[in-house]
Amino acid sequence: MQTFLAYLNNWKWNDEKVLHHFADAFTPLCVKRKTLLTVAGETERYLYFVNEGVQRIFYVTDEGKDITLLFGYSGSFFGIADSFLLQKPAAYFFETLTASHFLRLHYDRLQQLVQQYPFIQSFLLSATAAALQGTIQRQIELQTFSNEQKFHALMQRNAHLLNKVPHKYIASYLGMDATNFSKLLNQQKITNHGKCQHLD
C-alpha cells in the first residue's frame, strides 16, 4: 500500500480524506506468472495498480502472431484501459510474466467513488492524459527511430526488463525481429565489457 500511496501523492489531491478513501477501495490480488487476467473479447472489469512483478498486454493477429504492445511493472497503473473505461470487449490480452502482486478496483466501485468524490474524475482524467502522452511518444519512436535508437531508448528507460522478460517479447515490443534484437544486445554487452573502470 505504501508504494500505491507514494504514487498517488505525486498528484495534487484537494482533500487527503478523498485520497485515502480512493486508496482503501482497492483490494489486493496475488497471481502466478503466465496468468491471463483479461482475454480478448472479455470486458475489463478492474483497474490494476502493480505493486510487484512484470506484465504485458499483447495482441494476436488473424494469422496467430503474438505482438507485445505494453509492459507493466511496479509502481504504475496497468491493464486494458480502453476496455475498462468504455466497458467494451477488449481487443487484447493481459498476462503476468512474473509472479505479480496487484491492488485492484472494480469498475462499479469506481463509479460510486466518482459520484461521491468528483475530484477522483479529475485525477483519472489527468492520469489518462499522462498515459496517452506516453503512448504517443512511443508511437513516434516506433515510426521514426532506427532499431539502434529504439534499443538505446529501452536501455535508458527500462533496462531492468532484460533480466525479467523473455527477449522475444521485448523484440516484439520494439517492432524488430528477435535476431536483430539479439545482435544489438550482444553489441551492448561487448561495449560495456570494454569500458574502463576509473579509480579515484
CATH code: domain of residue 35: 2.60.120.10
Same domain, 120 and 35: yes
Encode pLDDT of 81-104 as tens digits: 999 999 999 999 999 999 999 999
**Number of domains observed in the structure of the chain:** 2
Q: Which residues of 30-44 are buried (b: 16+ CB within 10 A; e: fewer)?
A: ebeeeeebbebeeeb
Task: Identify the pLDDT of residue 1.
Answer: 77
Task: Identify the pLDDT of residue 196.
Answer: 32
Same domain, 126 and 155: no
Task: Identify the pLDDT of residue 192.
Answer: 56
Task: Identify the pLDDT of residue 113.
Answer: 95
Q: Running DSSP on this structure, what letter comes out for residue 10?
A: T
Range of the domain at 33: 2-140
Distance CA 158, CA 25 (A): 30
Same domain, 126 and 159: no
78 and 72 in contact (C-beta within 8 Å)? yes
- Residue ending a domain, among 98, 117, 140, is 140
Asked if the structure places residue 200 within a domain, the reply is no
Asked if the structure places residue 108 within a domain, the reply is yes
Same domain, 168 and 111: no
Same domain, 74 and 126: yes
Asked if the structure places residue 199 within a domain, the reply is no
Task: Identify the pLDDT of residue 195.
Answer: 47
For β-strands 93-96 and 100-106, DSSP reports them as unpaired
Q: Running DSSP on this structure, what letter comes out for residue 15?
A: -
Same domain, 41 and 93: yes
Asked if the structure places residue 98 within a domain, the reply is yes
Instruction: Name every residue whose Cβ is closer than 8 Å to that of residue 102 and which is 6 or more positions away in sequence.
Output: 28, 29, 30, 31, 48, 49, 50, 51
| Regions of the chain short of the pLDDT cut 50 | 193-200
| Angle between helix 107-116 and 16-24 (nearest 10) | 160
Task: Identify the pLDDT of residue 190.
Answer: 55
Task: Identify the pLDDT of residue 9.
Answer: 87
151 and 174 in contact (C-beta within 8 Å)? yes
